[in-house]
Structure 1
Amino acid sequence: MSKITIILTCFFIFLLRTLYTTNCFAQVIDQEALNILKASSNKISNQKSLVYSILYSYSEGDEKRIMLKDIDASYINLLDQDQILYYFLDGSAKYVTKDSIYMAELKPQKVVRAIPNTAIHVHSSYNIQHISLDNMLGTTQNFADECIDTIRFNKNIEMNEYIIDVVEKKRTWNNGTIQSIVVYDRYWIDKKSLFPNKRKSYRHSKDDLGKEKIDIYEFTLSFPEKSPVVGFPLDIFKAGKYRNLKNPIVPAESNKQILSMLGQLAPKFSGTNLVSGKKEKISDYKGKIILLDFWYLSCAPCRSLMPILNQLNEKFKDKDFVLLGVNVMDMNNDEIKNYVNEKKYHYEQWYNPLGAKELYNLASYPTTVLIDKAGHIKFYDTGYSDDMGSILSKLIENELNR
């Protein structure tokens, strides 16, 4: 073996050891603090019923805007985590099953309404994990996963509470559109019950346009001794009666918006092609599967979704499929073009769409719409989620195979 080979081999071994050491010892975890967080999470998730109230506040930037939201509710876990009954101070109840959300209101009169499971995410905000665990403990991720830098007891000592800080490493997320500067969560855990009393999240970040932002979230959780709801007729959901309700309707405006579009013929509209500068019509793509992405430059969730859509475009570009980005706000085509070119997004882009906002009930962004070959809307959703790529990919494949 030559000296050069020996030197290179030794260097390679040294590099591996360095990387291994960095990965294994980068985190500073106080095991006792970690165990308390896990115990608190298990404490809530193992409850078969719970009466709770959450006070939520949020402040953003220099404006120090504070929004308060009370969530006063009891819940009963009827069968499993997919079938849960909630009832609230306002005399209403939600019964969540695997296929629908059923809602009952006593005021001004007894009315039962249903939201069919028309989208994969439709139940995400109607479960105990979201209301208690995610809000109070953020347990959608492991407490000590690779993005965590430190878990430690806070120096401030309280008689009846553990105060624990969980500090994240500096990193990027949402497909690289957000860069963290300082990110931490602080938890107040009751020493006797192990229930969380409070969680504070501090988020100082910078987006890919260079804009810095500070968000502060606070969740305060309390547990009344008795249920705040008295006399609710729980039999309204019993014996399968909820499945025989006449004329179920959709209560929430956002769900009305989704359901009003699904299955309908996609409204026709036109826009200006970002590259050619020519006016084009959606009917130009008749007979193809069309995926519309309504977005604008200063919308961070929009920019987070675009790399996912770009991958979908690469996967299906040789099929009867077209992906069309539709910028609904920005009028400077050079700014749009510079951003798209910088990010190397290769799918079609329009701007200045005529009538699209009204025709597609656009109220929040990004809005993603899938249209089948016959021109009917098969999928309509708003916002960004990490699983959007897999959801859309399956839907497109299903339509291509019809």
Structure 2
Amino acid sequence: MKNFSFFFRFIILVSACTCLWLNAGTPEKELKIFRKLSQKLQSVKTITYRYTQEFTYPAEDYHSKSEGSIYIDFNKEYDLAGFRYQYKDQNGFSVFNNSGFFETSAADRTIHIKNKMKAADFEGLSALYNSIITLRNILPTVIKDEHIEKHVKDTLMGKKHFYLLNFKVQDRFPNYLGTDFTATTEKITFYNKLIVDRKSFLPVSFIQLKKGSRDINRTEFSDIVLHPVPPAEDSWYYSTYLKEYTPEERNPVKIIDVGQSAPDFTLDKSKTRGKVRLHEFKGEVVLLEFWIKNCSYCINAVPELNKLNNRYDPSKFKLLAVNTTDSRSSIDQFIIRHKVNYEVLSGDEAVNKNYGISAFPQIVLIDKKGAVIYSGDLNIAVLYPLISANL
């Protein structure tokens, strides 16, 4: 299928959708189009397509684009997740064979192997983000949910007509598999837009926008082939590649355990440009939040952390957000843009290693004596009573 410039496509979307959300309720003829797309995707047994992902966050000065090709087999025997797939891009390739997962690195000729996959392990796999798999699984939920506003318009790109399917979702977005929605920690309206080929009734583009934001997530599907020639059977097994690739030894990074002494550090303050040592806060409860700027979960965490910081006496409680990854100017912009009201620290990357940080955001709560009393994800329901009990 022909690729159209994203700018041209976005102008069409804006002009076509200006008045989409004026009426609640979806006419039956438009619901039929949603159902037809869902039925089409449910009928797919095997498929290949060219996959283009683009993320544009002007406020964060961030832009990323990646491309690859994917083969998906939805055979009923693949009961663990309902499919198996092979994905390839310039960095290497990855394979999920219904039980295990492996991925190669073209740069160092290594292969990483994970023998048993759980549903949570699929989150973060770029080949699945807003993919055909996502749409195949999430559309039945979208269609059934009367609280999700749905509309269909006709749109013209070049000289060709397409359907433009729109659904608006409040405070949640599809997970990678499309088996459910992931809730946000703040109020966000997501505008989801699907451009569908009127002849094949397959999606050519999936675009996500946020109300009041210029952020754009775009996925394009091109060169779609149904019932393609399948990959060789031995290509599904990592043992096939062991002559070409060396198994990678990954020592799993584990966040610091409860009961351990919090490692001391010296970092730079963003607000006052001074230095600060963790040791200075002995006798106070300290919450460390480890974060990076290009992380939607980190952005969504700010309002909750602001509330938490305002709740306690600053002479007894300190909230310190640690970012050892981004530049000082990027951190300063983040603080202003998202109205951060707590102290933000930057500097030595060894801090993340010492605390076992491998994902963001992560929380470490330290008591008055310097011992870790909580480590893990941001869980406000757990943190509030724990902080109060230790002040």
TM range, normalised to the smaller chain? 0.5 to 0.7
**Relative to structure 1, is the Cα distance of residues 88 and 338 closer, same or farther in structure 2, using a 3 angstrom cutoff?**
closer
Q: What's 2:113 paired with?
A: 113
Shift of 1:151: 0.6
Q: What's 2:255 paired with?
A: 262
Q: What's 1:229 paired with?
A: 231
- Whether 1:69 aligns to 2:71 is no
- Whether 1:292 aligns to 2:288 is yes
Q: Give 3-state SS (helix, strand or coil) of 1:223's partner.
A: strand
**Relative to structure 1, is the Cα distance of residues 366 and 234 closer, same or farther in structure 2, using a 3 angstrom cutoff?**
closer
Partners of 1:112 and 1:336 in 2: how far apart? 34
Is contact 1:51-1:73 (8 Å) kept? yes
Is contact 1:292-1:326 (8 Å) kept? yes
Q: What's 1:124 paired with?
A: 123
TM-score between both structures, scaled by the size of structure 2: 0.56
Shift of 1:229: 1.8
Q: How does 1:318-329 map to 2 (within 5 A)?
A: 323-326=319-322, 329=327
Partners of 2:31 and 2:159 in 1: how far apart? 19
Q: How does 1:360-399 map to 2 (within 5 A)?
A: 360=352, 367-370=361-364, 375=372, 378-379=375-376, 389-390=378-379, 393=381
Partners of 1:336 and 1:57 in 2: how far apart? 24
User: Which residue identity is paired with 2:203?
Assistant: N
- Whether 1:305 aligns to 2:301 is yes
Shift of 1:235: 6.5
Q: Give 3-state SS (helix, strand or coil) of 1:142's partner.
A: helix
Is contact 1:372-1:399 (8 Å) kept? no
Shift of 1:393: 4.4
Q: What's 1:94 paired with?
A: 96
Q: What's 1:203 paired with?
A: 209
**Relative to structure 1, is the Cα distance of residues 397 and 230 closer, same or farther in structure 2, using a 3 angstrom cutoff?**
farther
**Relative to structure 1, is the Cα distance of residues 59 and 311 closer, same or farther in structure 2, using a 3 angstrom cutoff?**
closer
Q: What's 2:242 paired with?
A: none
Residues 318-348 of structure 1: CA distance to partner in whole angstroms, max 9, x if unpaired?
xx996432366557999998888x67x5xxx
Partners of 2:63 and 2:332 in 1: how far apart? 34
Is contact 2:153-2:164 (8 Å) kept? yes
- Whether 1:58 aligns to 2:49 is no
Residues 155-191 of structure 1: CA distance to partner in whole angstroms, max 9, x if unpaired?
65999986133164999996668688xx561421455
Report % sequence identity: 11
Partners of 1:333 and 1:113 in 2: how far apart? 35
1:359 to 323, 331, 351: 351
Residues 72-97 of structure 1: CA distance to partner in whole angstroms, max 9, x if unpaired?
22335645354753334567522465
Partners of 2:294 and 2:109 in 1: how far apart? 44
**Relative to structure 1, is the Cα distance of residues 263 and 363 closer, same or farther in structure 2, using a 3 angstrom cutoff?**
closer
Q: What's 1:164 paired with?
A: 164
User: Which residue identity is paired with 1:72?
Assistant: I
Is contact 2:291-2:362 (8 Å) kept? no
Q: Give 3-state SS (helix, strand or coil) of 1:27's partner.
A: coil
Is contact 1:263-1:377 (8 Å) kept? no
Partners of 2:332 and 2:49 in 1: how far apart? 50
Q: What's 1:103 paired with?
A: 102
User: Which residue identity is paired with 2:84?
Assistant: L
Is contact 2:151-2:167 (8 Å) kept? yes
Q: What's 2:216 paired with?
A: 215
User: Which residue identity is paired with 2:95?
Assistant: A
Is contact 1:188-1:199 (8 Å) kept? yes
Partners of 1:292 and 1:145 in 2: how far apart? 41
* Larger RCO of the pair (alpha carbons < 8 Å, separation 6+): 2
Q: What's 2:38 paired with?
A: 41
Q: Give 3-state SS (helix, strand or coil) of 1:260's partner.
A: coil
Q: What's 1:243 paired with?
A: none
**Relative to structure 1, is the Cα distance of residues 249 and 200 closer, same or farther in structure 2, using a 3 angstrom cutoff?**
same
Q: Give 3-state SS (helix, strand or coil) of 2:67's partner.
A: strand
**Relative to structure 1, is the Cα distance of residues 167 and 396 closer, same or farther in structure 2, using a 3 angstrom cutoff?**
closer
Which is higher, the Rg of structure 1 or of structure 2? 1
**Relative to structure 1, is the Cα distance of residues 105 and 263 closer, same or farther in structure 2, using a 3 angstrom cutoff?**
same
Q: Which runs of 5 or more structure 1 residues have no equivalent in the other structure?
A: 1-23, 208-212, 238-246, 251-255, 380-387
**Relative to structure 1, is the Cα distance of residues 331 and 157 closer, same or farther in structure 2, using a 3 angstrom cutoff?**
closer
Residues 24-72 of structure 1: CA distance to partner in whole angstroms, max 9, x if unpaired?
983252322223323423543576x533224215374899978341232
How many residues are treated as equivalent by the alignment?
331
Partners of 2:320 and 2:129 in 1: how far apart? 36
Partners of 2:103 and 2:267 in 1: how far apart? 43
Is contact 2:196-2:205 (8 Å) kept? yes
Greater CA deviation, 303-312 or 64-73?
Answer: 64-73
**Relative to structure 1, is the Cα distance of residues 338 and 51 closer, same or farther in structure 2, using a 3 angstrom cutoff?**
closer
Q: What's 2:153 paired with?
A: 153
Partners of 1:116 and 1:376 in 2: how far apart? 31
Shift of 1:293: 1.9
Is contact 1:160-1:190 (8 Å) kept? no
Is contact 2:154-2:161 (8 Å) kept? no
Q: Give 3-state SS (helix, strand or coil) of 2:33's partner.
A: helix
Q: What's 1:134 paired with?
A: 134
Shift of 1:268: 3.0
Shift of 1:154: 0.7
Q: Give 3-state SS (helix, strand or coil) of 2:142's partner.
A: coil
